Amino acid sequence: MLDAIRKNFETEEGRQKSLQLRDAFGEGPDSFKDVLWVGECTHSFSLAAGRLAGVLPFAEETDHPFNLSQACWCSTELRWPRTLEKKLELDLVQNLKLLRSRGVWCSDDINGVKLKQTLDKANCPHSSFDTIFWMMPYVPDRQWRPPASISTMMYYYIQAFLESAAHVCKEDGQLVVVVTSAQCLSWNLYNCKPKWQDRQLQPEVWWFDVAPFEKHGYQSRFGDGRDRYVDYPVFHRLCDTVAVCWRMNSCASPEDDVNVRGVTEEDIAARKKLLEEVGKDPNEETAAEVETEGT
């Protein structure tokens, strides 16, 4: 399965339809963007992003090629893991130490649907960002919900985040939410067009390669905590992920439903069909077809 997912980023078309690291976070030595991460739990994703961008040293190394210089990176979470979640708490302490050593501002008590108010209350050093990034959104109350209700709830929850984030995003900035491709469809994110000023923002969907982030420290856990005691979670190795982007200078129109930039719903459906075939024995399928024809 992992090999099948990786092949999507090895084709020219796959690369052209993928969100690149520099597009989200900028690049060194002096073109880093002002970035706000939300929902970071142990901050392992922003840590991995810093390593990939050259702002933080790789594990077991001390050198790194770049500094943030004038750029501001802020990594935030609603509620940090507490003593009852000892392993996550230890990861958190280590990650905070590394990020803060490179000038990354880190804080909890930052609410994704009340960003301006909670950032101001926490004395965030920056008031507007080029990129506001939420990796794998989830509702943090850990309440059980009927599966049929989750898609609608997440659609409105993400829309509330986007409308909140727009108030702390630069005029030419972007809002980014990373989800699985299946979630993108079931949560109806192609039609999630938050209102900003006098217009609706238009979503763009791009493939997102999680593997480099996992290699350098990101742990792709379920948001509901079911795998908090698992040393090496494998959530993102089981499915494709996409980055849904809303550019602040975009404007949704009826024609946009036809001319989608990046990954289309048909692209996701084709990938789903391909991944469903992984591991199947072609001889068994041929035998089944012959049997069907003979009945």
Per the structure, the count of domains in the chain is 1
Is 56 contained in some domain? yes
108 is in which domain, residue-wise?
Answer: 17-263
Task: Name the average pLDDT for the chain.
Answer: 86
pTM for the whole structure: 0.88
- 248 pLDDT higher than 80: yes
Is 214 contained in some domain? yes
Is 3 contained in some domain? no
Is 275 contained in some domain? no
Strand partners, 199: 196
Rg of the chain, C-alpha, whole Å: 20
Distance set, CA 218 to CA 24, 193, 208, 261 (Å): 17, 29, 14, 28
Please check whether residue 14 is in contact with residue 240, taking contact to mean a CB–CB distance below 8 angstroms. Answer: no
Q: Which residue has the higher pLDDT, 282 or 267?
A: 267
Is 7 contained in some domain? no
Is 291 contained in some domain? no
Is 62 contained in some domain? yes
The whole-number pLDDT of residue 290 equals 44
CATH code of the domain containing 132:
3.40.50.150
Tell me the C-alpha distance between 275 and 238, whole Å.
10
The whole-number pLDDT of residue 220 equals 73
pLDDT bracket for residue 230 (50, 70, 90): low
**Alpha-carbon dihedral 141, 142, 147, 153, rounded to 10 degrees:** 20
34 DSSP 8-state letter:
P
**72-81, 142-151, 259-268: least confidently modelled range:** 142-151
| Average pLDDT of the residues in 259-272 | 86
Is 65 contained in some domain? yes
